[in-house]
Amino acid sequence: MSDLTPKIIKDPSRCSHRQGLTLIDAVLALTLLAVLVTFSASALFLSQEAIISSGNRSTANLVVQEAVSALGVISQESFTALGSGTYGLSSQSGHYTLVANSDQSDIFTRQIIITDVDDFSKSVVINISWPQGQQWKSLQSSYVIYNWAL
């Protein structure tokens, strides 16, 4: 049968070696903890950036969809109102109109470029841009709109 009780070391020279190892263990543990905290903070920051970027892109898509719908309504009312040029949108009392150059919606700038394809169709390019951090992001959509009223 073996004796499982701890033995007391009476020689101090044997203890100092173990105390040195304990100090090294503590420094290594603190270093590992610092690396883990730094990694976790970086991962959290990057995930927040990704969430913001995704939200902005989704909102930019909604701004494009609003323009497509508005241009559809305008073309049904009067296809000739869609003259060649660069425009923005204005909405007053639920009625959309084209305005000069571009329009601003929150952080998003919308620019609609209309060009004549022929007498019955027009090419439409919708550019959306917004600031994100130190950069500018953009989204572009293009399609052809037809005068079906003929």
- Which pLDDT value is given to residue 11? 55
pTM of the model: 0.70
Helices (H) and strands (E) in the chain, counts: 1, 6
* Tens digits of residue pLDDT in 45-91: 888 888 888 999 999 999 999 999 999 999 988 898 899 999 999 98
Q: Taking Cα atoms as reference points, which of 37, 35, 116, 112 lies closest to residue 80? A: 116
